[in-house]
Every structure is written in C-alpha cells, then in structure tokens.
Structure 1
C-alpha cells in the first residue's frame, strides 16, 4: 500500500525563512507598520493574508493588504536566483522516492516563487505532486492543504508523514490526522514544534536523512507491514 511523504518547502527544504522575514519586514515598513522581525519570523509559513492578520490584527484596514503583499513578492523575488537548498534536501527526497514513498510538496508559495524554490532544491524527479495554498480555500494551519496533498497521492492520513519547520505546519498535519516531523532549520524552537504536535524533531534535512531508519519515515524491514 502506498505511503506519502509530505514536505513544506520554505525553511524545511530551502534556507529561505529569513529572506521572507526581511521582505515582509520591509514591505510592512513601507506601509507604515513597524513590526519586530522576531514577530514576523513567527508568522512565516502562513499565507499572506493570514500573516498580515496575525501581525496587524483582524480589525486592520485591509485596503492596504494587496499593496503590502505585492511589495513582499517584489522584494523576495530579488533573491530568486540565489535561493539555496539545505544540505541533503534533494538526497532526502530521492531516498524516500526510491524507497517507495510518494513525495509531495505542501506549500504556501505562489507559482513563480515555487518554481524558484523547486529549482533550488533540484529534485523534481523525486516528486509525485505539489499542493499549494492556491489549491484550497484555507492555507496552513488549516488542514486543507495537507488533505489536498493526500488526495493527490491517493493515500490515507494514517499512511502519511508531514515534514515541516513551523508550528503552522505541525498544526495543519495534526488536524489532518497525519504524523508530523519538525525541522529546526527554519528557526523555530524544538519546544514550540513539539508543543504543536511534532512526533520527532531533527536539525535539518541532513540530520533527518542520517537518522531516517529510526524516524517516522523509516522504511519497514523484512516481515514488517509496508
């Protein structure tokens, strides 16, 4: 029976979270909002509208939202040709694919941004499909992006593992009934990831790959159910 390995991208496979922090901080500053960078960092991983609601409040003047998001997108796009994957990110995806896992990306990134991220990770040959926030009515931490990925994979929640770096990733996976694994390379503390439901936490893709046979993504051995 098929299994699905679902991966967030920003901060999980690609070292981009702090670039997003800088881009959102500057976009907010240009709009007259002075938000501490640490607060922006904690909101990374949310879709743009939800991120602004989290940082500025739901009772804000929403007429500026589109302008702030567009400014973020423009600022972040200046990094596209320099985006870097974490060490062993591509090897991790290919190792899982060779072991029979369906590998899917579950991301809030928009199409042009996702193309740049996929180029940085450089493991399209290992991917089964990609689920973005554009495919669903609600982004993470709602469970819809994870459920959509499960539908694309044709795999039930109990046969899937989600790997991410934010509390929003963990919450979305838990709400979808999927085992979740946290990575520290996005900058969120271990205690926060575990508190949000992470079944296991690793430093980065290289650490997860090195300990794969003892992780929730372990391949069953002889005589064990696949």
Structure 2
C-alpha cells in the first residue's frame, strides 16, 4: 500500500526555528511586551494565530495580537536570505519518492516563505503538494493542516515527519504516527511524550531507517 508522508518544513527541512524565535521576540518587544526567547522557542511549530496567547497570555493577544503578528513578518522577512537547508533534507525527499511514498510538505508558513523554501530545496518535482497558512484557519496543534496535507497526497496509510511537539500532537489527533528529529531544538523525551513513535538526531539518521517507518490509516 502507498503511504503518504506528511513532512513538516520549518525546523525539519530548513533551519528556521531560532530565526523565528528571534523575530517573535522583537515583535513582542515592539509592542512593549518582553517574553524570554527560550519561552518563545517552546512554542515554535504552532501557528502564529496561537503563539502570542501561548507565550504571553490572552490579554496580550486581545490587545496586541494582530500588531505582534504584523511586526513578526517585518522582522522575519529580512532573515530569509540567511535560511539554510538542513543536512539531508533534499536527500530525504528524493529517497521517500524513490521508495514510492507520496510526499506532502505541511507548512503553516506564509505562501511567499513556503515558495522560498521550495526553491531552496528544489522540491517542487519531488512532492505531491504542499500547504501554507492560507489552507487552514486553525493551525497546529490542531490537526487541520495535516488533514489538508493528506488530501494532497495519495495513499491508504500515512505518517508524519516533524521536529516539534506540535507536529506530534497534531498527527496524534488523526491517529497517524510521527517520526521526529532533534533539528528544531526540542528534546528527545518531550517529543516522545508528545507522541513521537521514534526520535532521530538528524535527517541522515532517519534516512537510514526509511524502510521501517511506521504508518497507519488516518482516522476520519
């Protein structure tokens, strides 16, 4: 049976998590709100619609949420040229395709950011499709983004590859297994506790085990 591999982008294929953390820190500071960067990092991987409330509370979201999100984009955009592809990223996509996985990239990033990453990865011909922030209203840890990704692939079974606890929790809600990597800065134990079936140090380590990746039929 063909398996759909739903692959996260930020922190999994491209090295962006700390750039995102710094951009959010500056965006909060721009509105007079100081949030420690370590705390922001713990929320990277969930959507920007959720992040301000997660790290600074509902009152900050109500008063400054849209302002902070707009400032985040202004601070992050100049960093795009600094973004690099993580070791093994394109090889992972090529090997998954070679092994007849139907690969879909699941990102809640802005469309122009996702386009930039697709160019960096030279991935358009390797994947069945991809998502952006425009595809859903409710982002990770809600399962919506992964659900949309599944509609863009073909297969009876599915699995996810990601780097954050939010990836694991979103996939778990659809009852599909997640294989996680440490490249986003989350720890082995916390990824496992969030539902990761396996945790690998990096993508090259994961690639060695592609023939044994777990997969299940998604829940309705």
Q: Show the 5 A alignment for 1:59-138.
A: 59-60=59-60, 62-138=62-138
Please state how far the C-alpha of 1:149 moved relative to its aligned partner: 1.1
Please give the residue correspondences for 1:48-67 in structure 2 after superposition, counting only pairs within 5 Å.
48-60=48-60, 62-67=62-67
Partner of 1:222: none
Q: Deviations over 1:39-74 (max 9, x none)?
A: 000010111120011012123352422221111111
Task: State the partner residue of 1:167.
Answer: 165
Match of 1:27 in 2: 27
Q: TM-score normalised to the size of structure 2?
A: 0.92
Determine the structure 1 residue equivalent to 2:218. none
Instruction: Encode CA deviations 1:161-219: one digit per residue, 9 max, x unaligned.
Output: 100111100000000111111110100000000001000001121111133234437xx
Contact 1:163 1:182 (C-alpha < 8 Å) held by counterparts: yes
TM-score norm. by structure 1 comes to 0.90
- Structure 1 window deviating more from structure 2 (4-13 vs 73-82): it is 73-82
Question: What SS is found at the alignment partner of 2:180?
Answer: strand
Asked if the contact 1:27/1:72 (under 8 Å) is kept, the reply is yes
Q: How many residues align?
A: 215
CA contact (8 A) 2:168 2:191 kept: yes
Contact 1:83 1:116 in 2 (8 A): no
Confirm whether residue 141 of structure 1 aligns to residue 141 of structure 2: yes
Structure 1 unaligned residues grouped into runs of 5+? 218-226
CA–CA distance in 2 between the matches of 1:133 and 1:200? 27
Aligned CA distance change for structure 1 residues 18 and 155 (closer, same or farther; 3 Å): same
Task: State how far apart, in whole Å, the 1-side matches of 2:59 and 2:30 are.
Answer: 20
Q: Distance in 2 between matches of 1:45 and 1:174?
A: 15
Give me the whole-angstrom Cα distance separating, in 2, the residues matched to 1:79 and 1:100. Answer: 35
**1:116 partner SS:** helix
Deviating more after overlay: 64-73 vs 173-182 = 64-73
